[in-house]
């Protein structure tokens, strides 16, 4: 009966999508099982924390590039001898480099977010091997460190509360892997 209550507690804890404090406390203390946060909330916290920051750098760079291209077009149609064309070309090239830089940052950031959910698959999809929660947590931590490096490299403001919240959830989220394997073995 106690084993059934533990399984039920894990299911209640997992299904407590609103992360209700009473259900979590019951699962952890009364039934002695993990409280498992959702992957969606983990990814959402990261996306909410830095997506706007990246976009706020990319959008002005794109607008400046558009303006530089318009100035170049104007300079090319103006009478020769004014010397504006080489300057406008140089400015356009500089702005194009800046836009490419922020597009690359956005692309790298967008690559890390789906990796979080792929890591939590019961199978290590890259190695095609069965995965444990410990391995999943280790890989999740590596992915979060890679995100932190990306953030620090490009001078984004540190949002320690977001990263701390995400780090605290890694063990619980990776427990989903073992929970899945337990259900497979039981069924």
- Residue extents of the structural domains in the chain: 1-35, 36-186
- What span, in angstroms and rounded, lies between the C-alpha atoms of 187 and 184? 5
- What span, in angstroms and rounded, lies between the C-alpha atoms of 111 and 147? 10
Q: What is the mean pLDDT of residues 50-70?
A: 86
- What span, in angstroms and rounded, lies between the C-alpha atoms of 38 and 44? 10
- What span, in angstroms and rounded, lies between the C-alpha atoms of 184 and 105? 39
3-state helix, strand, coil in the chain (%, to 5): 80, 0, 20
- Residue that the structure tokens 């090239």 belong to: 93
CA dihedral 66, 52, 140, 40 (to 10 degrees): -120
- What span, in angstroms and rounded, lies between the C-alpha atoms of 175 and 172? 5
**36 closest CA partner among 181, 172, 183:** 172
Q: How many other CB atoms sit within 10 Å of the CB of residue 79?
A: 6
Predicted local distance difference test score (pLDDT) of residue 78? 73
- Residue 116 clears pLDDT 90, i.e. is over it: no
Lowest model confidence (mean pLDDT) among 60-69, 72-81, 121-130: 72-81
Q: At what angle do helices 160-186 and 2-15 cross, to 10 degrees?
A: 140
The pLDDT-based confidence of 129 (bands split at 50, 70, 90) is: confident
Contact 178, 122 (CB under 8 A): no
The pLDDT-based confidence of 87 (bands split at 50, 70, 90) is: confident
Predicted local distance difference test score (pLDDT) of residue 1? 44
């Amino acid at each position: 009966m106690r084993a059934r209550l533990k399984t039920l507690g894990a299911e209640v804890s997992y299904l407590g999508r609103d992360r209700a404090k009473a259900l979590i406390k019951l699962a952890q203390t009364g039934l002695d099982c993990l409280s498992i946060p959702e992957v969606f909330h983990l990814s959402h916290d990261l996306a909410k924390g830095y997506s706007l920051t990246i976009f706020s750098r990319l959008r002005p760079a794109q607008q400046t590039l558009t303006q530089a291209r318009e100035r170049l077009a104007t300079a090319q149609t103006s009478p020769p001898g004014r010397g504006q064309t080489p300057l406008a070309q140089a400015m356009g090239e500089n702005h194009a480099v800046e836009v490419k830089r922020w597009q690359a940052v956005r692309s790298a950031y967008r690559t890390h977010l789906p990796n979080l959910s792929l890591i939590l698959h019961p199978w290590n999809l890259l190695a095609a091997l069965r995965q444990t929660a410990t391995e999943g947590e280790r890989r999740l931590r590596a992915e979060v460190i890679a995100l932190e490096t990306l953030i620090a490299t490009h001078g984004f403001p540190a949002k320690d509360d977001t990263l701390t919240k995400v780090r605290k959830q890694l063990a619980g989220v990776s427990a989903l892997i073992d929970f899945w394997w337990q259900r497979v073995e039981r069924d």
